[in-house]
Structure 1
C-alpha cells in the first residue's frame, strides 16, 4: 500500500504534506483560481488523509487561522458598510429563513431515503459552522464521526462550487491587494502587533462562549477597532495564506480511511444532498438579487451552506461584497445554534422505521 512506502516519521510526513500543499496552492493561484490558497491545501490533505494518513493538524492552528480570517472580515467593516447591512436586515432575515427551510427539506429527503440514522443525518445537514454542529450533535447522542463527514463533504462541495462559479463568472482570483501589503515602519509594526493581539484576545475570550468563537471573537473586536479608528489593521499576505492553509489542511485531514469506511454506504447520498442544497441556495440567491440590490456572486456566497471562514475567503479573492457575505453567514450561524436542536428533532421524525425499510 502507498502508506507503507511513506516514511513513518511524522516530521517527514509533515514535510511531504506541506510541500505538496504549497505546490498545489501555487499552481491554483497561478491559474487565478479563487481561494486557491485554501482549495489547494484542502484537496491535497483529503488525498493524503485517505491514502496515507497518520497526521492531524493541531486544533490551535485551525483556530488561529479562523482568528486571522475573523480580523480580515473586520477590516472590511466600515460605518458605511454597517449602515448598508442595517438597512438590508429584512432581506437578510428572509435569506436566512429560506436557507434553513431548504436545508430542512434536503435533510428530510436524506433521512428518508439515505439510510442514515435520523438524528445523525439531521445534524449532518444543518448549515452551521461544521465544528459547532459536530460538538452539538455529540451532545444530542448522534454519531459525531458521520456528522463530521457530512458537514465537511458539504463544506468541500460548497468551496469547490463557489470557486468554480466565481471563475466562470469571469471574476479574477487575484488576491495581492494593496491592503495586505505590510507597512515596514514603526506605525505599521505597531499596528501589526495590535492586530495579532486582537486575534489572540478574541480567540481567548470568545472561543468557549460563542459558536465559532475563534472566528467571531477577533471579528467583533476588530470591527470595533476598525470603526472607531483605533488602529489600521495590518494583515500581510503571507499570514493570510498561512491561515488559509491551516483551515484547508484541518478540513482535509478530517477524512481518513476509517471515516470513509464508516460512511461508504451513504456517501453518494451525502454528496447528492450537498449538491441539491447548493443548487437550491443558488436559486434563492438569484431571487434575492432585486431585494438586496446586490450582485448574484455576493448573494450566492452569502447563502451557500458553507462555513463563514471559507465563504469569506472566496468573497475576498473574488472581490464580492465581503460585509454582506459575512453578515448573512454569521446571522445564519447564530440562528442555527439557537434552533439547531429543534431542527434536528423535526428532521429525525421523518426517518424510516425498520418496518418501512423492509
Structure 2
C-alpha cells in the first residue's frame, strides 16, 4: 500500500511538471512532489530498490543505444582529446566542490559528488553507494546544477552559437520486429547481470550501457528506439526512489549552498566553453558540436539539442559517453582516494 501511494504521488508530480513544460518532468516531478509532501506531512515515503534497478536497465539501454560504429570510430580517433576534455571538466567540478566545502557545512564527500558533472541519476545512485555521502545534499546540488545546465546550454546552442551541418544529423532506424526487441532487451538485462557479478558501480545502469554499445559495435545493427512512454515510466520509477530518499528538513543545515553552487556551475560552464573552442580549432569540428560534446549535461538532453541544431551526434555521443564512463568507472576511485587521503579542516 505504501508503494502504491508513493507511485501515485510520483506520477502526479511527473504529470504536473510536464504540463508546465519543465525540463525532465518525469524525473524531477516525482522528486519534487515526494520530497515536498514528506517535508510538510512528516511522512517518510518508501520505494523498492529492485524496481529502481529494473528501471535503470531500461534507461541504461536508452543511453547505450546511440553508440554506433561511427561513435566507436570517433572515440578511437579523438580519445586523447576526449580524455583531456573530461579531465578539464572534472577538475573544474572538483574545484567547485572545494568552494562548496569551504563555504558550507556539507562534508567533502557530498560536495564532490554534488558538484562533479556526472548526471543527476548517476551521481545520486553513486552517492547512495558511498556511506559517508549525504544523499539529500547530493540530490539537491545535482538537481540545481542540472536545472542550470538544462536551461542554459540549449539556449546558448540554439540562439547564440552557429548552427551545425544538417547533413551531420544522425537519423535513427525504425521498424524493428519483435525478435529484435527481445534480443536487445536480453542484451541489456545480461549487461546488468554481468555488471553486478563483476561489481561495476551502479551496475544496473552502466552494465546495459556497455553491453548495448558493445553489441551494436560487434553486430553493426541499429538498436530499436525506446517508446517515450517507457522512458517516462522508467524516469518516474527512478525519481520515486530519489524523492523518497530526500529529507528536505535538512536544507536548513546547508547554509551558503546556493551562492557556492552557482559559482561552481559558472566555473564548469566556462571550462566547457573554453575546451569546446580549443577542440573546435584542433579538430575542425563546428563549435556547437564541440560545445555539446564538452557540456556538463546528460547524454539524452545533449542529444536532443544536437538533433535540433544539426550537430554531429556521433561525435557528441562519443565525447559524452567517454565522460560518463570515466565518471562511472574511474571517478569513484578518485573520489574515494581524495576522501581517504585529503584531510581538510573547515575554516573556523
TM-score, normalization by structure 1: 0.74
RMSD: 3.6
1:113 aligns with 2:99: no
How far 1:192 moved relative to its partner? Answer: 0.9
Residues 56 and 149 (structure 1 numbering): CA distance in 2 closer, same or farther, change over 3 Å?
farther
Match of 2:180 in 1: 191
Gaps of 5+ in 2: 39-43, 164-169, 308-312
CA contact (8 A) 1:121 1:147 kept: yes
Alpha-carbon contact 1:203-1:217 (below 8 Å) kept: yes
* Distance in 1 of aligned mates of 2:245 and 2:223: 32
**Any stretches of 5+ residues in structure 1 without a counterpart?**
1-7, 29-35, 172-176
Pair 1:51 & 2:42 matched? no
* Residues 190 and 344 of structure 1: CA distance in aligned 2, closer, same or farther (over 3 Å): same
Q: CA deviation at 1:56?
A: 4.6
Deviation at 1:191, TM superposition (A): 0.9
Tell me how many residue pairs correspond in the alignment. 324
1:13 and 1:120 mapped to 2: Cα distance?
26
Q: CA deviation at 1:190?
A: 0.9
2:239 is the counterpart of 1:242: no
Aligned to 2:323: 328
Match of 1:88, SS state, is helix
Aligned pairs (5 A) from 1:104-183:
104-128=94-118, 129-131=122-124, 133-135=126-128, 137-138=130-131, 141=132, 143-166=134-157, 168=159, 179=172, 181=174, 183=176
Q: CA deviation at 1:254?
A: 4.6
Q: Shift of the alpha carbon at 1:122?
A: 3.9
Q: Does 1:338 align with 2:325?
A: no
CA contact (8 A) 1:17 1:48 kept: yes
Contact map agreement 2:190 2:208 (CA 8 A) in 1:
yes
Q: Is the contact made by 1:50 and 1:256 (CA closer than 8 Å) also made in structure 2?
A: yes
User: Equivalents in 2 of 1:17, 1:120: separation in Å?
Assistant: 25
Range that drifts further, 102-111 or 241-250: 241-250
The whole-number CA distance in structure 1 between the counterparts of 2:74 and 2:130 is 35
Range with bigger deviation, 19-28 or 327-336: 19-28
The answer for the alignment partner of 1:32 in structure 2 is none
Distance across 2 between alignment mates of 1:211 and 1:316? 24
Deviations 1:188-223 (A, max 9, x none): 111111222222221122146212322221122222
Aligned-partner SS, 1:233: coil
**Structure 2 counterpart SS, 1:335:** helix
Q: TM-score, normalised by structure 2?
A: 0.76
Q: Which residue of 1 aligns with 2:194?
A: 205
**What displacement does 1:327 show?**
2.3
Kindly indicate whether the alpha-carbon contact (under 8 Å) linking 2:26 and 2:233 is maintained by their aligned counterparts in 1. Answer: no
Alpha-carbon distance between aligned partners in 2 of 1:124 and 1:232, rounded to the nearest angstrom: 35
